[in-house]
Structure 1
Amino acid sequence: MGNVRRNLLTVAGVIASGSAVVAMVATPAAATTYGAGSRGLDSFTYFNNDGEILTSEDNNADGHGATAQWRYSGSSTVNSYYNPNGAGNTKTWNLSLPENRFIDIRACLQDGAGGTPWDCGPWEGASTG
């Protein structure tokens, strides 16, 4: 009887560990894309946390360029990325950010690569993958 009980406990342990492995494999992390618009919605910024991809989109043929900005949540250091490609076009940057960090993104207009971003929309929260 002792051997039967020991064998049943061993089988139960194998089944329990097997289901734990299945549960871990069956729940992959999902990618999330965050978005933010400039005040007049002339530009948009997107952040995809799968690979930390930042995209700036210019939506208006108004002679202004678009800029994507990001910062770590709570930080005053702002990182700007200018999109000179014109209306209806995007520019994408592959960032290298630490995992599981909260960031803020926003979209702005900007005149030329050396210009100052303006007409920025509100900061929107995002998270790295």
Structure 2
Amino acid sequence: MSKLRRHLMSGAGVASALTGLLLYAASPASAARANAETVAWDKYVDSAGSMYFESYGDHFGVCDNKADGAGVIGYWKVGASGTEHSIYDGNGFGNCAYEDHNVSETSTVYIQVCLRDDGDVKEATCGDWDHQYAGSPL
């Protein structure tokens, strides 16, 4: 095999390897994720509700993790002072509500989750705001 042909083949192999690496790095498995959980208060236990935001695909999920009779409400906003939006899961323990929203890749998304019982948001159960850059990592 000539030197030129070997050189071209090794170059093609390197290019193929780099392409595979870039595709792997941009796969959903590498998506950045923010997670928030409720806190204990009164009859409610820690982590009775949870919420996540996944940057790859702009997925939001709110889940009811305890059989305590309360639903779970998650709040999200783009930017620290953005408009709050909500997602509610009142389907009972072990269930989740999911939504996808188009969020600018240059934004930071903030999420918070609370318990809601008989239509009343139990503010003392609200966890801290968590945040995640909306751009998918490379």
Tell me which interval the TM-score lies in, with the shorter structure as reference length.
0.7 to 0.9
- Is 1:26 aligned with 2:21? yes
Paired letter, 2:67: A
Count of matched residue pairs? 122
Partner of residue 109, structure 1: 115
Partner of residue 84, structure 2: 78
The two structures have a TM-score, normalised by structure 2, of: 0.69
CA distance in 2, matches of 1:117, 1:104: 19
Query: Does the CA contact (< 8 Å) of 1:67 and 1:117 recur in 2?
Result: no
Gapped runs of 5+ residues in structure 2?
1-9, 41-46
Residue by residue over 1:89-117, the C-alpha shift from the partner in whole angstroms, topping out at 9 and shown as x without a partner, is 1111111111131111111111356x446
Question: Percent identity, aligned pairs only?
Answer: 27
CA distance in 2, matches of 1:26, 1:47: 25
Partner of residue 96, structure 1: 102
Q: CA RMSD in A?
A: 2.9
Residue by residue over 1:62-82, the C-alpha shift from the partner in whole angstroms, topping out at 9 and shown as x without a partner, is 111001111123215211111
Query: Does the CA contact (< 8 Å) of 1:54 and 1:68 recur in 2?
Result: no
Gapped runs of 5+ residues in structure 1?
1-14
CA distance in 2, matches of 1:107, 1:43: 7
Distance 1:92 1:112, change over 3 A: farther
Secondary structure of 1:81's partner? strand
The two structures have a TM-score, normalised by structure 1, of: 0.73
Larger of the two Rg values belongs to structure: 1
Paired letter, 2:114: C
Secondary structure of 1:26's partner? helix
Residue by residue over 1:24-83, the C-alpha shift from the partner in whole angstroms, topping out at 9 and shown as x without a partner, is 663253312221101122100011111111000101111110011111232152111111
